[in-house]
Structure 1
Amino acid sequence: MAGPRVVIIGAGVVGAALADEISARGWTEVTVVDQGPLPATGGSSSHAPGLVFQTNSSKTMTELARYTVEKFCSLDVDGEPCFLQVGGLEVATTPERLAELHRRHGWITAWGVESRLLTADECVKRHPLVNRDRILGGLLVPTDGIAKAVLAVEAQIRRATARGVRFLPRHEVLDVQKADGTVTGVLTDQGEIPADIVVCCAGIWGPKIARMAGMHLPLTPLAHQLAWTGPIPALAGQREEAIRPILRHQDADLYYRDRFDTLGIGSYGHRPMPVPADEIRAFDENDEMPSVLKFTEDDFAPAWTETRSLLPATQDAKIEEGINGLFSFTTDNFPLLGPSPDLKGFWVAEAVWVTHSAGVGRAMAEWLVDGHCSSFDLHECDVNRFEPHQLSPEYVLARDCRNFVEVYDILHPLQPSGDPRPIRTSPFHTRQQEHGAFFLEANGWERPHWYEANAPLVEGRTIPTPNDWAARFWSPVVGAEAQATRETVALYDMTALKRLEVTGPGAAGFLEGLVTGKVAKSVGSVTYTLLLHHDGGIRSDITVARLAPDRFQIGANGNLDLDWLTRHLPADGTVQVRDITPGTCCIGLWGPLAREVLQPLTDEDFSADGLKYFRAQHAYIGTVPVTAMRLSYVGELGWELYTTADQGLKLWDTLWRAARPLGGVIAGRGAFNSLRLEKGYRSFGTDMTYEHDPYEAGLGFAVRLDKGDFIGKAALERRKADVRRRLTCLTIDDPRSVVLGKEPVYDGARAVGHVTSAAYGHTIGKGIAYAWLPTELTAPGTALTIGYFDRRVEAVVAEEPLFDPTMSRLRS
């Protein structure tokens, strides 16, 4: 098949990879345009130093990098290789960094890439230029190396051209043409090119091109310093371009690579230097590349001083050349991939570094040709993941610059984000401040993690202190709040939960075709169900409450759920979807005394029979109109109570006045996480993602294969009988050995899986870790270990749920 007419904007390392991958899948009516010459088009690919370190805390980013390495190793241009697989070495000069290298070793092991921890002497043996007295140890990834980006572009251009892809250099894009909400082509300075699909791979020019299609990309081009030394005597006579591992000295924001008898030095240690995409000039072959700015020597001075200390052989050399090279940063350090929410047929593949380029090319080709990506889980990379405030220019610039500064920093999983904060606050924010809330951020919301006002609750309780790393952004108050929830009653701010409203005469049928469960039930029903991809992978887990014959409220996981529902709306206008989160709020009232708090405040019947488990009803709580849903993600009797934002503070005060005499507390997210893991409740994006199906994730109960058709049903019927891995509950006896997630799990010496969510269970008195494991290792009682920094933590497979397996407390 020739496929639809596709125009790819940008012939750098991403555009070339996409052209190659998509043409290999049979789409050959493809045109690639670039304002620069080929293969060095003048963007970031043309000056990139090419260092490919695969280690990343994200499984997806590591897998994208691994594919890039594998593909580039197979490419050459007239016998010249596109990848020099010299290995990658990260060194530590501080104890903190050495501990971090153990954590990074855990990630890369969990994701299935070989790596080794080295002593200081072993590091010097691998890279003799390193000053032995400066380092404490290192991490080696043998398959890392140097990508020859321009050669890789040329190799992929040749392959795509042989299949019929057309490449048009020196074609500047002036506009993206459109009609009736659909892309129709691209206007260049040399004429129009008709298209059914346009993919923006313009790199640092991406925001400029995307605006032509009505999109706002949260991307900032930033200058990054790269310098080259003159000849280094210790490297004299080196005939091969690179023989030593690429080197990272992250304690000083530096990296290094060989180039015959010279050395390349990259630095992130300087001030952020953002450049608006509109101000980046076009390519002029009589000028320097547009992505290369003048080298600012003063900014590089600290990097050069540190280099001569770490690599003493450079003391006899000089800096001969340098650039401030532009490349892309985003607000969360992930690429921007996927279709426009507003212009049909317009796609982006942006903010992609050389490290991940070939992987992204494959991912995008699968997504375009097959309708979904089967090789990689792209939920972290989807361009439609952002909330509206995350697209504001002020927010994008601030966060992108901060990410540049922090690129090599040691960051805790709960590390608070920086300015701008606060952005979104619930109606309860003032009361939370009065109670000494410690806030972390969730999608812009200020969300309490614990309350210092509850410190007196700690006295007399057994609340073990976890290890040093787990004790960061933690307080014993977390344990006290969790235990108090089980004992009395607690108020939780659930406002950060995404809330969508689906209305219209076709709403019930529309939702039935998207979800795995039966939601076209009686008014007042609440259903826990799943959204799936066509391949049966979990796209999200949601709750669907039928509040009227033609109105449903959905508890969603984020903007991707809104985007998914919106894309599947019927064209006849019989269904509408809107985000009601900003105008509403929610309190979770949970605990064995929850009914004693709530029932005296209302005339409605909140008895066990009056409002059954997983049912909803409208009520007045005092003077406040609420939608009450009887469900609980902490495993206790109670309700989610929704009202409008203007009534939120009144609802809080009303409930708090009633709860205090009963010993009630207000509790934060730390306690919530502990309690939900004791109950075995999953969290999408952490415990399961697009790559997992419901049966693997232990969510088969949420699937009704006996109902009508829904997206992913056919795939599930094929996958149901072939479950080879499972999300499994592990418990840890040692109270200090709390792990945090993404650690490798071992069966003896063999890495067999990885941890997803983890916390200490303050009710059961054990550490809890959920992990993906092969089915043969999921029998209760199976002894395993978890790799946590430089040690192994003993764990055992446990039956779930760990707390209230009979559901008696929830249904009381």
Structure 2
Amino acid sequence: MSDYDIAIVGAGIVGTALAAQLASHARVLVLDRRGQAGSTALAPGYVGQLNTLAPLTELAQRSVAAYRAISGAFDDVGGLEVATSPAELDAMEVRAALARSRGLPAEVVSGARARELAPAFVEGVEGGLHFPSDGTADARVITAAYRAAALAAGAVFVDADVSAIEEGVEGEGTQRKEGMERTEGTERKEARKVTLATLAGPFSAHTLVLCTGVWSGDFLPLPAVSVAHMYAYSAARPRRPRSPFVRIPSANVYTRDHGDVDGIGSYDHDPVEVSADAMRTHTCAVGGFDAFHDVLARALRVLPAHTRVGFEGGVTSEGGADEGGERAERAFAEMRRAREEGQACAFNGLFKVTPDGMPLAGRVRKGVYCAVGVWVTHAAGTTGVLADMILEDLGMGEAKDLELRKALDPLRFEGKADAVEVALRTYNDIPRTLRNFMQDAAP
């Protein structure tokens, strides 16, 4: 049996970033399924730093600073939110003031200037709010860079699916824990050692960190829900001058230039939950597209006709959002083939949402940590906070970012019976439509 100080389960952007931050301090093992297409592989890469929740703004700013230090990881194209009515434009003035109060440059622009900034995506608008320091991140480049840094510092990566976790508890020997649930009435039992069963053999560590994204329900009963979400790519086209990514809050739509194709996503639908049981059959974070054809059609109507035509006749996968296994693998393969051949395509990508929109990142109990519901926008900032916490608990660092730790605490919803239902409802709060801006942005 191989023994490590820290075992991280999940080698997406979160797991690799955490490994890179810890590997120079301890013996780190990272386990992940081979060839898995998790949320990182599917992330479209929009990075808007302003959020009405101040901790998310701070984590996004830290993440952007980290991504800018990686060659080819972050493109400073800026972000643009557009207003389709005078009232919406007035609300953007309040949002701009909020951005500037948090150290983010922001400027309300006219309709003509908005069209000039993003002619492929904007027409017939009242104006917009331009964030010049926002941009787009290439999650695969970032993940590869963090993996290389972790390997250089001595981390070990193993392609293996974790089938079971056994947790040694002080005074009770070794107990097998199905899903690692906590027994009612007990408080954060102290783990001496954790053993992970895989086809590559057993591995043990004194500290365990679960960064398993949409598969987190396999190991921890946390109030985070896997949801389905559509995204589409246009057919290949000639490259054009760079454009900021664009959000159209009144339509719950966002769109961007990916270089040789355009992309569009939409939250304009009721949330579609994918249960933990259904996720166990998924080997990649995609599902069937049948529920999203009308959603895509509505989203495309907000684009200028000369851009909309590029999405026509796109390849989509069949089946319901929660259908997994071989069908999910085929859906991902179809999307990859279509993109390689320059065809338009659309897919259903799965990700986690939490009751308040914040990641669940921190200590579950002594020796056991998690980072769940973490987006690319906040990944580097969140793992920085978590790494400092782990190092402090191991006697290798000092307490830092106590307010952020509190905001990210994965146990903050304990005792709230409706936490899962609330998490599902937050899916429609993600775009924060302009009618909410005035209330949210008020000092």
Question: What TM-score do the two structures reach when normalised by structure 2?
Answer: 0.81
Q: What aligned pairs does 1:28-427 form with structure 2 within 5 A after superposition?
A: 28-37=26-35, 41-76=36-71, 81-133=72-124, 135-180=125-170, 181=189, 182-189=191-198, 190-210=200-220, 216-231=221-236, 236-238=237-239, 243-281=242-280, 290-296=284-290, 299-317=292-310, 318=312, 319=314, 320-340=344-364, 343-371=365-393, 372-374=399-401, 377-388=404-415, 390=416, 392=417, 395-410=418-433
Q: Supply the distance in 1 between the matched residues of 2:275 and 2:301 (Cα, whole angstroms).
A: 34
Higher helix fraction (1 or 2): 2
Task: Tell me which residue corresponds to 1:598.
Answer: none
Q: 1:86–1:245: 8 Å Cα contact kept in structure 2? A: yes
Contact 2:9 2:212 in 1 (8 A): yes
Residues in 1 aligned to 2:245 and 2:201: alpha-carbon distance in whole angstroms: 44
Other structure's SS at 2:362 match = strand
Is the 2:94–2:441 contact (alpha carbons within 8 Å) kept by the matching residues of 1?
no
Q: CA deviation at 1:208?
A: 1.6
Residue 128 of structure 1: CA displacement? 1.0
**2: CA distance between counterparts of 1:102 and 1:375?**
32
Q: Is the 8 A contact 1:203 1:351 kept in 2?
A: yes
Contact kept in structure 2, 1:269 and 1:303, CA below 8 Å = no
2:265–2:299: 8 Å Cα contact kept in structure 1?
Answer: no
- In 1, Cα distance between the equivalents of 2:358 and 2:66? 21
Q: What is the correspondence of 1:720-731 to structure 2 with a 5 Å cutoff? A: none
| Alignment partners' CA distance in 1, 2:432 and 2:26 | 43
Determine the C-alpha separation between the residues in 1 that align with 2:287 and 2:235: 20
Tell me the CA shift for residue 20 of structure 1: 1.0
In the TM superposition, residue 299 of structure 1 has moved relative to its aligned partner by: 2.6
Return 5+ residue gaps in structure 1 as ranges: 211-215, 285-289, 416-468, 471-739, 744-812
Shift of 1:147: 1.1
1:225: how far off? 0.4
- In the other structure, the counterpart of 1:625 is none
1:794 aligns with none
Tell me if the contact between 2:228 and 2:350 (Cα under 8 Å) persists in the aligned partners: yes
Measure, in 2, the Cα distance between the counterparts of 1:51 and 1:186: 37
Separation in structure 1 between the aligned mates of residue 212 and residue 272 of structure 2, nearest angstrom:
20
Per-residue CA deviation, residues 382-410 of structure 1 (Å, 9 max, x unaligned), is 1122241x2x4xx2342122111232244
- Could you list the per-position Cα deviations for residues 396-440 of structure 1 after superposition, in whole angstroms to 9, with x for gaps in the alignment? 342122111232244888x9xxxxxxxxxxxxxxxxxxxxxxxxx
CA separation in 2, counterparts of 1:325 and 1:302? 14
In structure 2, what residue type is equivalent to 1:137?
Answer: G
Query: Structure 1 residues 169 and 97, CA, compared in 2 at 3 Å: closer, same or farther?
Result: farther
Shift in CA distance, 67/32, structure 1 to aligned 2, threshold 3 Å: same
| Counterpart contact for 2:231–2:349, Cα < 8 Å | yes
Is the partner of 2:277 in helix, strand or coil?
helix
C-alpha distance after superposition, 1:51-71 (max 9, x if no partner):
111110122111111111111
Q: Which residue of 2 aligns with 1:656?
A: none
1:741 & 1:246 partners in 2: Cα distance?
A: 22
Which residue is 2:7 aligned to?
Answer: 7
Q: Which amino acid aligns with 1:228?
A: Y
Percent of residue pairs bearing the same amino acid type:
30
**Counterparts of residues 562-577 of structure 1 (less than 5 Å):** none
Sort the Cα spacing of 1:255 and 1:309 in 2 relative to 1 into closer, same or farther, 3 A: closer
SS in 2 for 1:383: coil
The 1:408/1:312 distance shift into structure 2, 3 A limit, reads same
State the 1:188 CA deviation. 2.6
Pairwise CA distance, 1:200: 0.9
Please say if residues 117 and 138 of structure 1, whose CA atoms lie closer than 8 Å, have aligned partners that are also in contact: yes
Give the conservation status (yes or no) of the 8 Å contact 1:91–1:250.
yes
SS at match of 2:15: helix
- Matched to 2:419, the amino acid is V
Q: Residue by residue, what CA displacement relative to the aligned partner does 1:749-780 show, whole Å, maximum 9, x if unpaired?
A: xxxxxxxxxxxxxxxxxxxxxxxxxxxxxxxx
The alignment of Structure 1 onto Structure 2 pairs a total of residues equal to 385
Aligned-pair Cα RMSD in Å: 2.5
Once the two structures are TM-superposed, the CA of residue 381 in structure 1 deviates from its matched residue by 1.6
Structure ID, larger Rg: 1
Cα offset for 1:47? 0.6
Deviation at residue 306 of structure 1 after TM alignment:
4.2
Deviation at 1:29, TM superposition (A): 0.5
Task: Assess if the C-alpha contact under 8 Å between 2:91 and 2:434 holds in 1.
Answer: no
TM-score, with structure 1 as normaliser? 0.45
Q: Could you tell me which amino acid in structure 2 is paired with residue 381 of structure 1?
A: L
Query: By how many angstroms is 1:196 displaced?
Result: 1.1
Name the SS of the counterpart of 1:5 in structure 2. Answer: strand
The letter of the residue matching 1:369 is L
**2:121 touches 2:246 (CA, 8 Å); kept in 1?**
no
Any unmatched runs of 5+ in structure 2? 171-188, 315-343, 394-398
Greater relative CO (CA pairs within 8 A, separation 6+): 2
CA contact (8 A) 1:221 1:274 kept: yes
Q: Which amino acid aligns with 2:369?
A: W
Letter in 2 for 1:291: A
SS of 1:224's equivalent in the other structure is strand
Q: Deviations over 1:15-50 (max 9, x none)?
A: 111111223xx423111111233xxx4211111111
Cα pair 2:413 2:419 within 8 Å, conserved: no
Structure 1 residues 176, 58: CA separation in 2 closer, same or farther (over 3 Å shift)? Answer: farther
Asked if the contact 2:229–2:348 (Cα under 8 Å) also holds between the matched residues in 1, the reply is yes
Q: Note closer, same or farther for the CA distance 1:303–1:103 as it changes in structure 2 (3 Å cut).
A: farther
User: Which residue identity does 2:142 align to in structure 1?
Assistant: A
Q: 1:186 to 1:83 in 2, by over 3 A?
A: farther
Counterparts of 2:266 and 2:16 in 1: how far apart (Å)? 27
Give the CA deviation at 1:302.
4.3
Structure 1 counterpart of 2:366, which letter?
A: K
Alignment check: 8 A CA contact 1:97 1:410 kept = no
Matched residue type, 1:324: N
In structure 1, C-alpha distance between the alignment counterparts of 2:11 and 2:163, rounded to whole Å: 12
Aligned to 2:17: 17
Cα distance, 1:249 vs structure 2: 0.9
Give the secondary-structure state (helix, strand or coil) at the position aligned to 2:270. Answer: coil
